[in-house]
Structure 1
Amino acid sequence: MAKHLLKRVLMMFAGYFVAVLIGLIAVVAIYAALSSLPNAPEYFGFMGVTPIMALVVPPLGMFVYFLTIILTGLQTLIFALIAEFFSLRNFWLHMFFGAAAAIGGFALVRPSAPEDMSPERWADIGIIAGAGLIAGLIYWLIAGREAGFRRPFYQL
């Protein structure tokens, strides 16, 4: 039983760290794709280039990665524990959890977002939620498909 529990916890951490990395890459890709659309606001072009600087300067990239882990860690832990305790294995649910965790992390960075609901903030929230959906899917692929702290009967 302890071996199965340790395996699940390690899979949760591995899934989370990889999902955060892929989620950050998704943010860059979404901003870059949106900036190439006709009549795209200059804001998208700026945001599409700014994260690339985090990749070019590795200490800055690591700072952004660890900051994202800190900002999304608590809500993701809560969602992962809910999924593990109730053996929730639906990929849509994990994608929803990923989007909710990403928006929660964004709300921690921009606590003034409810007062400043400009089109840029709505776009940011949508892009962050989209990246969270992708991160949730990645988490599901790594750890969520076999969610459940209880050991399956066939492994006795």
Structure 2
Amino acid sequence: MALIGRLFVILFGFLAACLVAGIIVVGTVLFPEFSDFAGGVIDPDAINIVLGFGFIFLSGFALLPATIVVLITEAFYIRSVLAYAIGGGIVGLACYLGLIPFDPDTLRFDGIVRRHLEIMTGAGIVAGLVYWLIAGRNAGAWREPRRPLRPPPPLPSHSPVPPHTPSSS
């Protein structure tokens, strides 16, 4: 039963991390355009649509690498915030490099834009931190046995003894 609850926590943490990463990616990619509006009105519906697509896009690309990081951290009880930040950075890097064409003849990625690489890696780091806040702090806790309930403390010696009631037959 604890495993089922843990899966829901992991799923919620993953979705929250993808939402934060999507907001970061969309905000930083669109930042140069925001500064060129010269005080013009920004349509909030368009921003909501762009954020929604960013969330869907990142959650689809990040699912497999993030699942690998989650499985490793759950299996080895890794609860360090640094491990999740590094894992998130690696997931962000993997998502970006998954979009760039790879030339197998030269063993190089063609067309890497350094700014975009930094944005995706930074968004992955922040997403890893958000995931740690929600689910990573208790990684592997579902496998630990429950602590037994402590018995109530003994009554003080000068307290009255509760009356004994005979059982009715």
Q: C-alpha displacement at 1:61, in angstroms?
A: 3.6
**Other-structure match for 2:116:** 124
**What pairs up with 1:1-156 in 2 under 5 angstroms?**
3-31=1-29, 45-46=32-33, 56=46, 58-112=48-102, 114-117=109-112, 121-148=113-140, 150-155=142-147
User: Structure 1: any 5+ residue segments left out of the alignment?
Assistant: 36-44
- Percent identity, aligned pairs only, is 26
Matched residue count: 138
Supply the AA of the counterpart residue of 1:80: V
The answer as to whether partners of 1:87 and 1:147 remain within 8 angstroms in 2 is: yes
User: Structure 2: any 5+ residue segments left out of the alignment?
Assistant: 37-41, 103-107, 149-169
Supply the AA of the counterpart residue of 2:118: G
Change (3 A) 1:89 1:78: same
Q: CA RMSD in A?
A: 2.8
Structure 2 CA distance for aligned equivalents of residues 147 and 46 of structure 1: 40
The structure, 1 or 2, with the larger RCO (C-alpha pairs under 8 Å, 6+ apart) is 1
Q: TM-score when scaled to structure 1?
A: 0.75
- Structure 1 stretches of 4+ with a deviation exceeding 3 A read 28-32, 46-49, 52-55, 57-61, 153-156
Q: Radius of gyration: which is bigger?
A: 2
In terms of fraction of residues, the more helix-rich structure is: 1
The answer as to whether partners of 2:79 and 2:137 remain within 8 angstroms in 1 is: yes
2:25 alignment partner, SS class: helix
Structure 2 CA distance for aligned equivalents of residues 155 and 48 of structure 1: 56
Q: C-alpha displacement at 1:153, in angstroms?
A: 3.7
Structure 2 CA distance for aligned equivalents of residues 126 and 96 of structure 1: 14
